[in-house]
A and B are shown apart, each in its own frame.
Chain A
């Protein structure tokens, strides 16, 4: 059974700072997804990481995947207030009918 854990669960940071959100998963997962959720809104797809060593970047966010360590990271560079949201990672569970297993989410607050 695939289990996904994120940390930290809550992150408060100042604008301009850098930080990393970690996503550990328990068994082999073919794909790793990152989503953003604003309060009262649905999930917005950010990145899909398909292979070991994959790195994707968009704006101030960069996601990477290390399948050997079963670890994905979401790195925030020079945070801005607009990045405040909850970020979820999710692993694809091939043994459970292509089901996504989500981490608990990281609530990010960037103070202006």
Chain B
């Protein structure tokens, strides 16, 4: 398919463990975003990559959160020492001029 893909679709982890979430954007899209959506809430911006520019990390909630984008394509969101409040659906999106396209999300549950 030609859409944004994310893996894993579901992740259950124990408090204090590190997790990595992966995003494959649509080929050719230079912009990539990470958002999270807590249960029953709207979307919260986390981080934005645009081409080779320095990422906009202004939405990351703490220094336990980091993200990389290798080769201008695949991105990995890493959460270190996970806490229960990190439980949410993590959505990745990439965009062309007209619209953002979202991936299916990774549902993270921290026990």
Binding site for B on A (CB under 8 A): 33, 35, 41-45, 48, 88, 90, 96-105
B31 CB within 8 Å of chain A = yes
Q: Offer 10 A-B interface pairs, CB within 8 angstroms, sorted by A.
A: A42-B104, A43-B91, A43-B102, A48-B99, A88-B42, A96-B58, A99-B45, A100-B33, A100-B45, A105-B42
Give residues 90-105 of B contacting A (CB, 8 Å). Answer: 91, 93, 98-105
Contact status A48-B48, CB under 8 Å = no
Nearest CB of A to B40, in Å: 9
**B3 nearest CB neighbor, chain A only:** A42
Contact status B42-A100, CB under 8 Å = no
B50 CB within 8 Å of chain A = yes
Also in contact, A42 and B91, with CB within 8 A (given A96-B56, A98-B50, A104-B42): yes
**A35 nearest CB neighbor, chain B only:** B102
B43 CB within 8 Å of chain A = yes
Also in contact, A42 and B42, with CB within 8 A (given A33-B100, A48-B99): no
User: What is the interface residue range for chain B against chain A?
Assistant: 20 to 34
Give residues 34-50 of B contacting A (CB, 8 Å). Answer: 41-43, 45, 48, 50
**A46 nearest CB neighbor, chain B only:** B99
The answer for the CA separation of A88 and B93 in the assembled complex, in Å, is 15
Nearest CB of A to B78, in Å: 21
Nearest CB of B to A112, in Å: 24
